[in-house]
Amino acid sequence: MSENKKTNEVANVENNTIVLQEFLGDLSLKTSDEIADVNTALEQLLNKVQQIWSNNDNNQDVATQAVSLFNQSIDIVEKITFTDSKDLQTLVKLLQHIEAVLKRVIYMDDEMILIRKIFFTLFDLFSKPQFCACLKDDQYTKTSHKEVYRRIIAVFIDLLSVRLTDIPMVVADSTIRRYTDILSAMYKRVQINIKLNIYDQHIVDRILSLFCSLSDRIIIVPWLLGIGLVKAILECLPLLDINSGGRTLSVIGILHNISRHDDGAAEINSLDGLAILKNFQNNNNHMSNDTNNLLLSMAIALLSTPKQIRSDNKRMNRILNQLLQITMEASKTENHRSNVGFHISEPLGVLAKLFVDDHSLEYALSHAETDPQLDVTSTIDLFVKLFIEFRGASVQKNQLEHFTCTILLNILWSISFQDHYKTKLQQNEEFFKTVKSLAMDSSETVVVDDYVPSSMESMKKAANGILYNLNETLNDKKVDMTNKQPVFNTGSEKPMIMISYAHANDQFCDKILAELARKANLFSLWIDRDHLSSNEDLWEKIALGIKQSYVVLCLLSQDYFNSKSCRKEASFAVKRKKEIIPIYIGEPGDCDWLDIHIAELKYVRFKSNTENLDDGKVQELLKTIEATIKLVQIQPVPEPTEQHSMPTPIRKEIETIQSTTFNVNKPLEQWTIDDIHSWFSSYKVPDNLVKLFDFQSVSEMHEYTMKLETDSKKEFIKYEKRYAKTYPEEELEEYIFNRFKNALTGLPKNEKATVKTSNSTSQASTGKSSACIIL
């Protein structure tokens, strides 16, 4: 059977229940019809199993008979007392033969669809209530049967685990929930054993190994979520010895694997898992097991936000060193596995996530410490070489290799956003040829059905993103399709607003759309979801939407910052010198690649996780849109600039704040933005520095003052860099920053207080600072 045929069969699986019924037929055979004498039942079943291969050489028939006999063996157990030791011996022999027959089929590489069916059928049999009861040590399970069920459970786990890495899976499999009871019973058995420090290698270690294998298939990680397993594993972790054997490795491995899935990472973080993992690693910094240490490091990286990564840069730099080193080692082996068993996709997957942050990317390419030491060129060449190698493999539709190729292409897409690394990619002709072929390959839209985390995009989208960033042509036309300038219609046609957003924020986007739709008489809206029906390239339509828009609304969140597609849209809008209105969803943190372009722009911030949008903020947004449209209508059409250069914001006319005196009788809690700027002006703080912080209230000033007083040096270093990015021609001197600090610390702590200075009426003009007096 060809690989393409296998993939098509798997992709067409819509209902596993139907498939299993077709595979097994009716398993509800009455044992009384098959086996007349219960006392000799096991002997009869053993004879049937021993004859399977002699009677049939069809693999599917063999598997069907073996599973049917396994099912009969399970059902007959309850009817046997096992008072005779011979019965147990016969059962053990019977289980050994059934396991041998099924493994013989399972190990056949040209029977992957059949192996998939066997896997799901066995999992269904394993979900029978007697096994859940046995794992829970149920008091109603007969003592004589407990050992029997333990042996059968061991056989199930071994058979389920044996080819789990290779079994074809589809996204629809992630929604299966019929195994929740047996999965819950297994993790609870593990939890009890670890808490009581009971060493049960026969069952518990097998269960942990199965959980490790299940979670390693990222596509079915949802099976393990929302059932209490993550909480139990996190509670067990601190009870384990970091230097112990397989049990600790399995527990850490499960957490690492689950963190590779977006929903898994969210559940771990909701249980304070990041802090638990960091504490465990810190408390075991003497650990001798490098594999455990690396797994912990990768999980920590996957669970961290860019802000957390920057705040713990020593740990992250160490992790980046480890990841690059293990990638180098795995790249030299035939099966692309490191000497401790990691497939190369595992460290690469973490790198792809970390490279969303430009700081991490820069460190890995230019400063990472490896043996042998790599420079920028050799590091980029490593990723390119691996991509070309796995691109060839992905054509065969192998899921793991296809996923690895997707990861590598996303890594190279992140690199292509950096101007100073572009030429190194542009100079590689084989790389360009391979990326172009992938971008033009229409068959890539029907590839292996697999899970891709939100920090990555599909291969085709990543390929087109790279070509766009490197200004390459495809089919003899520019990728961006937008060299012609739009001519804004000043007549009756309504101006257009384009919305750029991350699809993870669909619900928030819906709310914004609903509010904007009420102003349909003033402007029209462009959003990608309205343009998905045609066969045209979506990016071409998005680029055209940006080109023809008056204003681009960017709905900013951590999901937006992490999305390379969103970065592509925002960068294109900047390149076209489009008016951007940033709309923040909560407090997503910093974003270096975007902050430099929007630092001076008027923004609107909405609270996250609220049922309804704040009416005041909605009105603020609408007013900002209307004011911006008016400005665009009177401005000459700007020439496009280079993708990463900083345009001069037109928005300055909207919110230019003059340095004016403040009302000495006004309590701080009533201060406006004008009052805030006047206060800083009285300390001779430059407007550019004040705008960089953009305080909206005295409460925000007080909050930041506490942070500044904790470590003013660290804050100066942080904002010195940000100031340099926002104002490339200027340098933030420390004495200027000290003026800013003095203005904050000189502010009364009581917001109901008023202030005055020795010459409050002339401060704005003279710029002289004087002591603050609380009235």
User: Is residue 239 pLDDT above 50, yes or no?
Assistant: yes
* pLDDT at residue 601 greater than cutoff 60: yes
Highest mean pLDDT among 222-226, 576-580, 622-626, 764-768: 222-226
Strands 551-556 and 496-500, how do they pair? parallel
Which of 288-297, 446-455, 508-517, 729-738 is most confident? Answer: 508-517
Contact indicator for 45, 72 with CB cutoff of 8 Å: yes
Q: Residue 196: pLDDT above 90?
A: no
Overall average pLDDT of the 175-203 stretch: 91
pLDDT recorded at residue 78: 82
pLDDT score recorded for residue 486: 46
Signed CA dihedral, 737, 743, 745, 750: sign only: negative
8 Å CB contact between 79 and 41 = yes
pLDDT of residue 660: 44
- 24 vs 670, more confident: 670
CA distances (Å), origin 36, targets 33, 86, 498: 7, 19, 75
Question: Could you please report the per-residue DSSP string of 640-705?
Answer: P--TTS-PPPGGGGTS--------TTS-GGG--HHHHHHHHHHTT--HHHHHHH---SHHHHHHHH
Domain ranges, ordered by start, for the chain: 1-168, 175-284, 304-479, 496-653, 668-774
Q: Residue 576 pLDDT > 70, yes or no? A: yes
- Percent of the chain scored above 90 by pLDDT? 43
For the entire predicted model, the pTM comes to 0.72
Per-residue model confidence (pLDDT) at position 600:
81
Q: Is the pLDDT of residue 122 over 60?
A: yes
Q: In a 10 Å sphere around its CB, with 0-12 CB exposed, 13-18 middle and 19+ buried, how is residue 414 labelled? A: buried
Radius of gyration (C-alpha) of the chain in whole angstroms = 32
| Mean pLDDT of the region 104-115 | 92
Give the range among 58-67, 258-267, 301-310, 326-335 with minimum mean pLDDT. Answer: 301-310
In the predicted model, what is the mean pLDDT of residues 250-269?
96
- CA 726 and chain centroid, separation: 29
Is the link from the previous residue into 667 a cis peptide, with omega within 30 of 0? no
DSSP 579: E
Of the given ranges (254-263, 372-381, 437-446, 553-562), which has the lowest mean pLDDT? 437-446
Least confident of 179-188, 288-297, 580-589: 288-297
**For residue range 691-731, what is the model confidence (pLDDT) as tens digits?**
888 888 888 888 888 888 888 888 888 888 888 878 876 77
Arithmetic mean of pLDDT, 225-247:
90
Per-residue pLDDT at 152 exceeds 90: yes
What pLDDT score does 241 carry?
Answer: 81
Alpha-carbon distance of 555 to 617, in angstroms, equals 14
Cβ pair 755, 772 in contact under 8 A: yes
Token pair belonging to 487: 């001519």
DSSP-H helix ranges across 56-109 = 59-77, 85-106
Q: Which neighbouring-strand residues pair with 755?
A: 774
Higher pLDDT, 449 or 357: 357
304-479 is a CATH 1.25.10.10 domain: yes
Chain centroid to CA 223: 18
**What span, in angstroms and rounded, lies between the C-alpha atoms of 363 and 451?**
28
Structure confidence at residue 233 (pLDDT):
97
Please state the rounded mean pLDDT for residues 270-298.
Answer: 87
DSSP string for residues in 193-221: HHHTT---IIIIIHHHHHHHHHHHSGGGG
pLDDT of residue 397: 60
Q: Alpha-carbon distance 414 to 383, whole Å?
A: 12
Q: In the predicted model, what is the mean pLDDT of residues 196-225?
A: 92
pLDDT of residue 616: 92
CA distance 629 to 19: 58
Q: Which residue has the higher pLDDT, 88 or 244?
A: 88
**Pairing label, strands 579-585, 604-606:** parallel
Exposure b/e, 660-684, CB count within 10 A at least 16 = b: ebbbeeebbeebeeebbbbbbbbbb
Q: What is the pLDDT of residues 391-449, one digit of tens each?
A: 876 555 678 888 999 999 999 999 999 888 888 898 899 998 999 888 887 655 444 56
Contacts of 479 (CB under 8 A, 6+ apart): 464, 467, 468, 471, 472, 473, 539
Tell me the torsion sign for CA atoms 195, 201, 203, 205.
positive
More confident residue, 276 or 458: 276
Residue 500 above 90 pLDDT? yes
Q: Nearest to residue 686, comparing CAs of 728, 649, 735?
A: 735
How high is the pLDDT of residue 473? 46
Topology annotation, domain 496-653: Rossmann fold (3.40.50)
pLDDT of residue 635: 65
- Position 774 pLDDT exceeds 50: no
What per-residue confidence (pLDDT) applies to 650? Answer: 39
Closest C-alpha among 79, 56, 240, 73 to residue 156: 73
Domains 304-479 and 496-653 equal at CATH topology level:
no
**16-20, 166-170, 309-313, range with the lowest pLDDT:** 16-20
Spatial separation of the C-alpha atoms in residues 284 and 290, rounded to whole Å? 12
The DSSP H or E segment spanning 553 is: strand 551-556
Mean pLDDT within 70-94: 85
- Phi/psi for 500 (5° steps) reads -110, 125
- Asked whether residue 685 carries a pLDDT value surpassing 90, the answer given is no
Higher pLDDT, 772 or 360: 360
Q: Which amino acid is at 440?
A: M
Q: What does the pLDDT read at residue 136?
A: 86
H or E segment and range at residue 525: strand 524-526
Q: Which range scores top for mean pLDDT: 53-62, 329-338, 749-758?
A: 329-338
The one-letter code for the residue type at 112 is M
Confidence class for position 758, pLDDT limits 50, 70, 90: very low
